[in-house]
Structure 1
Amino acid sequence: MHIEKEILNKVNEWLTPTFDMTTQEAIKELMTSSPKELEDSFYKNLEFGTGGMRGVMGVGTNRINQYTLGKNTQGLSNYLKKVFAGEEIKVAIAYDCRHNSDTLAKVVANVFSANGIKVYLFSELRPTPELSFAVRELGCHTGIVLTASHNPPEYNGYKVYWKDGGQLVPPQDSEVIQVIESLEYSDILFEPNESLIEYIDSTIDEAFFKSTIANASFNTPQSAKDNLKIVYTSLHGTSIKAVPQVLEMAGYNDLHIVTEQAIPDGNFPTVKSPNPEEPEALEMAIALAEKTNADIVIGTDPDSDRLGIAVRDMDGKIKLLNGNQSMVIMTAFLLEKWKRNGKLTGNEFIGSTIVSTPMMLELAAAYDVECKVGLTGFKWIAKFIKDFPQQQFIGGGEESFGFMVGDAVRDKDAVGAILLICEIAAQAKAAGSSLFKELLHLYMDFGFYKEDLISITKKGIDGANEIKQMMITLRENPLKEINGQRVVCIEDYQLSKGKDLMNNVIFDINIPKSNVLIYYLEDGTKICARPSGTEPKIKFYFSVNTELNAINDFAKTEEFLNTKIKNIIAEMQLN
């Protein structure tokens, strides 16, 4: 096959003595056995997306390896020494259960230390939210976690946190990338200064656990805790290092762990995908819940920032909640607790994202608090906390099964969210209600919002071009009517412009630019198109709503909304 000259130039660079013999031999093998894979390995450089940098492990500029991570770390080191000149620069590093995460974390630690930077390295795998916590707890200037979240086993990744504990955001992100791109691979300092690398574990664990309990506990009586039966699975990931310990310290003793999934394993052998967004991922946990007659099922992704929840419906059957449903339950509970405790002064806010349920706006309005809405990714919610220190952050979430309670952790945090949802479930059960019944009451009070998501995977160069063309088509030939409803507004976050089609008014969008399009229909339907920043996918988000007049009307009302979403998907030819 023909390979572009620019790609071949990159390949030849990697065949020089700057790169070790193992790398060079792997490239030579690809040249003869798999030219297509060689092309995919070098046709671009890995980029920072909504969740940092993720990619398939292997050789090449478009792969996760010691050189791509080493170059990132060298660039970040140079940037830190420029921005914090004269200070003792400190960095915290954590890693998850994925293949090579521990060795890649040590490579990153080596490069930082070679540049004279003090490194705090977790001695074993730890949850991502604990790394965010550790950055502030240790007074670090930055933090790194080696993880690919819920991606398949062949992936790994590199997430960068700033001194506030939140992920890298503008302007630092583009400035760091500029420094990285100015480097040659030969500029990387790999030889460590071991005296600058300090291993951390139990001291930070204890502080993280205590902070979680302080933030996510709400005076639940011990009798209510004793009466809540919980099933939990870590899906072979890092949350096993924190969740059982936090729940026990908080007084939840009736905990049943899915033992087959409790051992960290980067192969994720018992699931097709270690993603709690996928119903299949919680099958073993749900089976255990049926066996033990549990009230609630909880599962986390490999780095323990997302959580999936299943509860018993009005008929006692276990039902999976989606991320929007979990988010509104937790947010409504927090708002009500803050109100009852007299803590709402009009200077508080909750956080959400442009692709999440509009129901968050309804909740905020009802409690007279602001709902700050940002781009996809929790780094934008963390940025709100940093940018508005005069306001107090209550909690916030996004549709992709992430939630954050308070501001001690500045990223989505399954550990704190699990304790919070157990508090809500225990108090509801003690009051003769349930999590599901509480959700239905919210629908009756604020409107029944139903969301769905379609992800279309397009791999490689051709796939990237297909995704690009889909967005071009949606922009250049915007839909005027969908499922019999007029499009009344279109927001284009790449242009930072919106258009009110009913009044022919163009308005500015004061959110950082992003390749996102949102259509609003006259019946309140919202449709969003967004290429993923970390996976070869384009995602379409759907939100529809109507009134729920009575609990007994739930099933038929849900079917009405499901049918509406199906009709929209069919008309847009996305199925």
Structure 2
Amino acid sequence: MQITDSVINLRVDEWLTPVFDTATQKEIKNLQDTNSEELKESFYKDLEFGTGGMRGVMGVGTNRINKYTLGKSTQGLSNYLIKQFAGEQPKAVIAYDCRHNSDTLAQVVADVFSANGIKVYLFSSLRPTPELSFAVRELGCHCGIVLTASHNPPEYNGYKVYWQDGGQLVPPQDGEIISEINALKYSDIRFDTNPDLIQKIDQEIDTVFIEQSVKNGSFAATQEAKDNTTIVFTSLHGTSITAVPETLEKAGYKNVHIVQEQAEPDGNFPTVKSPNPEEPEALTMAMELAAKVDADIVIGTDPDCDRLGIAVRNDQGELQLLNGNQTMIVMTWFLLENYKKQGFTGNEFIASTIVSTPMMQSLAQAYGVEYKEVLTGFKWIAKLIKDFPEQHFIGGGEESFGFMVGDFVRDKDAVTSTLLACEIVAFAKANGSSFYSTLLDLYTKHGFYKEHLVSLVKKGIDGAAEIKQTMVDLRNNPPESLNEEKVVLIEDYQTGIAKNVQDHTEHSIDIPKSNVLIFYTEAGSKIAARPSGTEPKIKFYISVQESLQTSADFTTVQQQLDGKIEAIKKDLQLT
């Protein structure tokens, strides 16, 4: 729906009524006088739930993160909880990260819950997102909230909602809760806190969470191997500093060097352009420290500690940054190997997302376990665990640097995954190999898959329209070939239909509908396009493959794959 200036003006007028506090009204009047474009951006739509919850710029207005937009969401969620769990005492647990206003916004959420008679467990200070997921089940809560904007810029904050199983909201709860929220007026929000229903928590959850992280992330490394492993870790000014160092210490790793300049939680993220471990620049200081201490592995986590980026020594002894797909492949292999030693029971599965490397499916086939594929977002992997209780989830991840070990946490978990990465390095080093050599060995056994991500930033109203039009154009005029390889299959997750271009047959896609297009070529290339659910971006995920006879051929074959990727980018006009 096209939002007119008159509709925006009506929204602005509503926010200038006594329902909203004087500070909010003053800020709106200031925007009216000085920045009409910012005023328009702030009110032209309501914040929406995406793949990672609700995320946006902080400020006044319906399209901003503030006490009223979060209050309204919490009021709607409260109404839903009271209806769904009639006769019970609904319980919620709340955590928050290092971002500006996260603590005060967390208190607002606690106030609204308590005003509606909901028991609240509120972490006394910042905590990692995976600990919140763990706490939901540990405390027997009906839902959980974490205030975070993950790796977005400093002006952002966000609101992730978790359900009873510890996973993020999925259908049908998400749609039902959104309907409750949309039915509310801002005047319906109850801010009159009941402090008797708010209980602060900290060490009692920290201790058991870290114990479980050590239990789930420890495998084959001996103490001697751990003693011979040197680790550099950076929290990138985020929450992981509260859990990762202690987890590594309790697991027996003593040679851990923390990047002190980035150890203090700080919502300005002063030493990095972006606190995103996907960006090589974010690990610059950690790489410099690693060179000084001759580290075997470098690990950096994002602000809410659900994703990790790593660098390991390559076959030349140089530190090499790995992408999310590469890390996921080695971690999954390591888990499968250890389960194989124990003996598979026949009900295990691993999981990944439709935009991640196809090599995950190859690994599953090689080990005789089931592979399940879902939409982007770990909430869908968590849903698999809930939907298939008779099966055992080994682990899995997605290309965007997230991984989950087992099911004690129901979201991507950089605490346990950090320990797992160190276990792999220690075990491989003790056996005359390395994390990197393991990756090359896997490429020779299962095929060399190489992935590349193109993210195009399109901000604001015009950007949203441009992203929408790009997807429309791709649907109406799909490419017939890419890199001179014929497109043979097109999967449209919005319609739920896959079309075989060669024989013109169609089949339905047994995955919830989403605005995603995937093109497959005759040579095995895979190209996915989707608007981001958490940022103003449209993303293109390119995967190409070749056989690799020996690890000595790696550089040559990698150059061939790089050439394929560049040709595909050119054909899609992404260069």
Which band: TM-score by shorter chain? over 0.9
Instruction: Tell me, in whole angstroms, the C-alpha distance in 2 between the residues paired with 1:19 and 1:220.
Output: 57
Given residue 443 of structure 2, which amino acid in structure 1 is its aligned partner?
Answer: Y
Instruction: Report the counterpart of residue 435 of structure 2 in structure 1.
Output: 435
Report what 1:415 is aligned to: 415
Structure 2 residue 126 is matched with structure 1 residue 121: no
> What is the DSSP-based 3-state SS (H/G/I as helix, E as strand, rest coil) of the residue aligned with 1:443?
helix
How far is the alpha carbon of 1:310 from its aligned partner?
A: 0.3
Question: What CA distance in whole angstroms lies between the structure 1 residues aligned with 2:445 and 2:502?
Answer: 29
Instruction: Tell whether the 8 Å contact from 1:454 to 1:540 is kept in structure 2 after alignment.
Output: yes
Asked if 2 retains the 8 angstrom alpha-carbon contact of 1:359 and 1:446, the reply is yes
Within 5 A, what are the aligned runs for 1:477-488?
Answer: 477-488=477-488
Give the C-alpha shift of residue 571 in structure 1: 1.6
Contact kept, 8 Å, 2:220 with 2:427, in 1: the verdict is no
Shift of 1:572: 1.1
Rounded to whole Å, the distance in 1 between the matches of 2:442 and 2:87 is 53
Tell me which residue corresponds to 1:517: 517
Q: Which residue of 1 aligns with 2:532?
A: 532
Amino acid at match of 1:110: D
Equivalent pair of 2:482/2:567 in contact (CA under 8 Å)? no
Amino acid at match of 2:503: N
Letter in 2 for 1:246: T
Structure 1 partner of 2:133: 132
Match of 2:249 in 1: 248
**Structure 1, residues 56-82: CA drift from partner, whole Å, max 9, x if none?**
000000000000000000000000000
Structure-to-structure mapping, 1:156-195, within 5 angstroms: 156-195=157-196
Match of 2:397 in 1: 397
Quote the Cα distance in structure 1 between the aligned partners of 2:220 and 2:468: 51
Partner of 1:465: 465
Tell me which moved more, 565-574 or 439-448: 565-574
Aligned to 1:301: 302
* Alpha carbons 1:349, 1:392 under 8 Å: kept: yes
Which residue is equivalent to 1:496? 496
- Determine helix, strand or coil for the equivalent of 1:246: helix
Q: C-alpha separation between the residues in 2 aligned to 1:527 and 1:3? A: 36
For the Cα contact (< 8 Å) 1:233–1:257, is it kept in 2?
A: yes
Q: Distance in 1 between matches of 2:249 and 2:401?
A: 23
Cα deviation, residue 413, structure 1? 0.1
Cα deviation, 1:27-82, whole Å, max 9, x if unaligned, reads 00001100000000000000000000000000000000000000000000000000
CA distance in 2, matches of 1:417, 1:371: 20
Q: Point out the more displaced range, 345-354 or 60-69.
A: 345-354
Give the partner amino acid of 1:77.
S
- Deviation digits for residues 520-543 of structure 1, max 9, x if unmatched? 000000000000011110000000
Q: 2:225, 2:466 → 1: CA distance?
A: 53
1:283-302 alignment, distance < 5 Å: 283-302=284-303
Secondary structure at the aligned position of 1:44 is classed as coil
In the alignment, which residue of structure 2 is the partner of 1:83?
Answer: 84
SS in 2 for 1:265: coil
Structure 1 distance, partners of 2:291, 2:12, is 54
Give how far 1:3 is off.
6.1
1:565 and 2:561 correspond: no
Moved over 3 A (4+): none
Q: Report the Cα offset of residue 483 of structure 1.
A: 1.1
Are 1:3 and 1:39, in contact at CA under 8 Å, matched by a contact in 2?
Answer: no
Unaligned stretches of 5+ in structure 1? none
1:216, distance to aligned residue in structure 2 (A)? 1.0
Match of 2:25 in 1: 24
Determine if contact 2:277/2:283 at 8 Å carries over to the other structure.
yes
Matches of residues 147-162 of structure 1 in structure 2 within 5 Å? Answer: 147-162=148-163
Please tell me the residue identity of whatever aligns with 1:355.
V
What pairs with 1:51-62 in structure 2 (closer than 5 Å)? Answer: 51-62=52-63
TM-aligned CA deviation for residue 550 of structure 1: 1.0
- State the Cα RMSD in Å: 0.7
Structural mapping, 1:326-365, within 5 Å: 326-342=327-343, 344-365=344-365
CA distance in 2, matches of 1:146, 1:351: 27
Q: Distance in 1 between matches of 2:155 and 2:56?
A: 8
Check if 1:320 corresponds to 2:358.
no
Task: Report the CA distance between 1:191 and its aligned residue.
Answer: 1.1
Post-superposition Cα deviations, 1:98-121, rounded to whole Å, max 9, x if no partner, equal 000000000000000000000000
Aligned-partner Cα distance in 1 for 2:352–2:564: 24
Of the structure 1 ranges 20-29 and 553-562, higher mean CA displacement relative to structure 2 is found in: 553-562
For 2:455 and 2:38, the matched residues in 1 are separated by: 24
Which residue does the alignment assign to 2:446? Answer: 446
The residue type equivalent to 2:234 in the other structure is T
Tell me, what secondary structure is at the counterpart of 1:68? Answer: helix
CA distance in 2, matches of 1:364, 1:411: 21
What is the match of residue 68 of structure 1? 69
Shift of 1:87: 0.3
Letter in 2 for 1:365: Q
Quote the offset at 1:512 in angstroms: 0.4
CA distance in 1, matches of 2:212, 2:115: 33
- 1:95 deviates by 0.1
Q: Distance in 2 between matches of 1:369 and 1:500?
A: 28
Distance in 1 (CA, whole Å) between partners of 2:198 and 2:221 is 42
Give secondary structure in 1 for the equivalent of 2:49.
coil
Match of 1:239 in 2: 240
Q: Which residue of 2 aligns with 1:261?
A: 262
Q: Could you tell me which amino acid in structure 2 is paired with residue 234 of structure 1?
A: S
Residue-pair matches, total: 573
Contact 1:239 / 1:303 at 8 angstroms: preserved in 2? yes
How far off its partner does 1:181 sit? 0.2
Partners of 2:482 and 2:251 lie apart in 1 by: 49
**Whole-Å separation in 1 of the counterparts to 2:461 and 2:208:** 46
AA partner of residue 513 (structure 1): K
For residue 570 of structure 1, report the CA deviation from its aligned partner.
Answer: 1.1
Quote the offset at 1:482 in angstroms: 1.1
TM-score for the superposition, normalised by structure 1:
0.99
CA shift at 1:556, angstroms? 1.2
Q: Which residue of 2 aligns with 1:94?
A: 95
* Map 1:366-385 → 2, pairs under 5 A: 366-385=366-385
CA distance in 2, matches of 1:29, 1:370: 58
Q: CA deviation at 1:219?
A: 3.6
Q: In structure 2, what is the Cα distance between the partners aligned to 1:43 and 1:564?
A: 41
**Share of identical aligned residues, percent?**
68
* Farther off after superposition, 552-561 or 66-75: 552-561
Tell me by how many angstroms 1:469 deviates: 0.4
CA distance in 1, matches of 2:220, 2:456: 44
Q: Which moved more, 1:438-447 or 1:500-509?
A: 500-509
Give the distance between the partners of 1:33 and 1:553, measured in 2 at CA: 61
Task: Indicate the SS of the match to 1:271.
Answer: coil
